[in-house]
Amino acid sequence: MDWLTRTELEAARDIVMSHLVPTPTLTWPLLNRRTGGETWIKHENHTPIGAFKVRGGLVYLTRLKAGNPDLAGVITATTGNHGQSVGRAARMVGLPATIVVPKGNNPGKNAAMAANGADLIEHGDDFQAAREFAEDLAAERGLHMVPPFHPWLVQGVASYGLELFEAQPDLDTVYVPIGLGSGICGVIAARDALGLKTEVVGVVAEGAPCYALSFAERRVVATNGVDTVAEGLAVRKPDALALEIICRGATRVVAVSDDEITTAIAAYFTDSHNLAEGAGAAALAARLKEGNATAGRKTGVVLSGGNVDKDLLVRVLAGAGAGG
């Protein structure tokens, strides 16, 4: 992709690294035993917001403010980590931020967004409804609508892909969760920029399968609803540009169940003492699901976020799984 050259990715990484330090890429003996092979975890749960999204927000809003110094403010829709990214980055560059979340959203993520100074609004039953409401508010109030997917966001989050591949350039396969797609597109961009041959495997929830369906048909396929504990994956309509990049750069897209996701949440806690939210655990869930197919291969797994809901974590660690 001509807008994701190595020069552009490194320029974006410079912006990110002016605010953050690289997150660790670690292998854990108990996780290796569980997965049946050498598995390297990219710990994006160790960023200041507990998720990879902060990287994209920093690049997007730094560039936005530089080109629009008199901007009234920004608005976006989210289920949490994108909103934390926008809220934190907006505060750092001096822009007011409004965040729209669906009703019943993760309360911990809501609190974190509000703590960053964002004006938090709850509207709609899912992400798509919240997004449409935010777009209406943007027009009404003269605010800039920060999209969930944009080349600048991809360039920012690609910095973790560069870190991963520079730490472990000989990975055979890397598993990446798919929400709206910036994370997996960033990993694809980093791999291609470095000239590597690593397979990139996307991961979705069975209860939010739009990207798996769309990847199979090579066109945008929306669903009527979502039902998953992984709110970061709870998307019912793919972004067309993200889908194009995924179709061109990913090997396959794997769907995992909520039970498989909660098993992976528990595995992270017991085997590495790390917290993983549903979306953050999905990639490990897929690695475990494909254990026989990846035997003897060196794999990477993106732990994209650790902002797990407390009640879900209690149920998981009590052995109740997703349902309780």
Over residues 158-178, the pLDDT tens digits come to 999 999 999 999 999 999 999
Which residue, 145, 180, 214, sits at the end of a domain? 145
Q: Is residue 298 part of a domain?
A: yes
Torsion of CA 195, 197, 202, 203, to 10 degrees: -120
Report the sign of the C-alpha dihedral through residues 33, 273, 86, 64, in that order. Answer: negative
For 84, half-sphere exposure in the C-beta direction (CA atoms, 13 angstrom radius) is: 24
Please compute Rg for the chain using Cα positions: 18
User: Looking at 145, 163, 187, which one is the last position of a domain?
Assistant: 145
- In this prediction, residues 141-154 reach a mean pLDDT of 93
- Residue 3: pLDDT band (50, 70, 90) is low
In a domain, 226, yes or no: yes
Average pLDDT, the chain: 94
Q: For residue 306, with 0-12 CB atoms within 10 Å meaning exposed, 13-18 middle and 19 or more buried, which class applies?
A: buried
- Looking at the structure, tell me whether residues 116 and 238 fall in a common domain: no
Residue position matching structure tokens 């309360």: 107
**Confidence category of residue 322, pLDDT binned at 50, 70, 90:** low
On whether both 17 and 59 belong to a single domain, the answer is no
Q: What is the CATH number of the domain that holds 87?
A: 3.40.50.1100
Question: Which of 270, 277, 287 has the alpha carbon at shortest distance from 47?
Answer: 277
Same domain for 132 and 166, yes or no, is no
Nearest to 208 by CA among 182, 231, 239: 231
- Is the predicted pLDDT of residue 295 greater than 80, yes or no? no
The yes-or-no verdict on residue 324 having pLDDT over 60 is no
Quick one: pLDDT at residue 321? 67
Q: Which of 1-10, 166-175, 309-318 has the highest mean pLDDT?
A: 166-175
pLDDT at 177: 98
For the segment 32-58, the average pLDDT, to the nearest whole number, is 95
The whole-number average pLDDT for the span 287-301 is 90
Alpha helices (H) in 142-257, listed in sequence order: 151-167, 182-193, 210-217, 240-249
Mean pLDDT value of segment 251-270: 98
Q: What pLDDT score does 109 carry?
A: 86
One domain for residues 68 and 199: no
The answer to the question of residue 1 being in a domain is no
- Give a yes or no: residue 91 inside a domain: yes
Q: Where are the beta strands (DSSP E) in the chain?
A: 25-27, 39-43, 74-77, 97-101, 119-122, 144-145, 173-177, 199-205, 252-256, 299-303
Same domain, 195 and 253: yes
Give tens-digit pLDDT for 184-196: 999 999 999 999 9
Residue 64 lies inside a defined structural domain of this protein: yes
Please check whether residues 46 and 58 belong to one and the same domain.
Answer: no
State the pTM of this model.
0.91
Domain boundary among the residues 145, 176, 210 is at: 145
CB atoms within 10 A of CB 1: 17
Q: Is the pLDDT of residue 323 over 90?
A: no
Residue span of the structural domain in which 236 resides: 6-52+151-317
- Read off the pLDDT of residues 48-101 as tens digits, 9 standing for 90 and up: 999 999 999 999 999 999 999 999 999 999 887 888 899 999 998 889 999 999
Q: Based on the fold, state whether residues 128 and 83 are members of the same structural domain.
A: yes
Distance of CA 282 to the CA centre of its chain: 11
